[in-house]
Amino acid sequence: MDERDDATTLTCSAKGCVDDAVWALRWNNPKIHTPDRRKAWLACEGHKVSLTDFLSARSFLRETEAIADFVPEET
């Protein structure tokens, strides 16, 4: 179980979804990002497949990690 309090609960990135995120989908667009840059979409269990499919279809998805292991990239 996640030990985070309500102030740090991460929400799914899918439009209109308010569920807690359980996955971080790390991606980048090679046309505008350097190869080492990673953006992140957060996904609940119900949206993991659709968000993964969207990023994969564009060859943007780089890795997927459990939200417990997610550390946001500093900008």
| Domain extent listing, the chain | 10-69
b/e 2-40 (16+ beta carbons within 10 angstroms → b): eeeeeeeebebbbeebeeebbbbbbbbeeeeeeeeeeeb
Question: What digits encode the pLDDT tens for the residues 37-69?
Answer: 999 999 999 999 999 999 999 999 999 999 999
CA dihedral for 43, 44, 46, 48, sign (positive or negative): positive
* pLDDT value of residue 4: 44
> Whole-model pTM?
0.84
pLDDT band of residue 11 (cuts 50, 70, 90) is very high
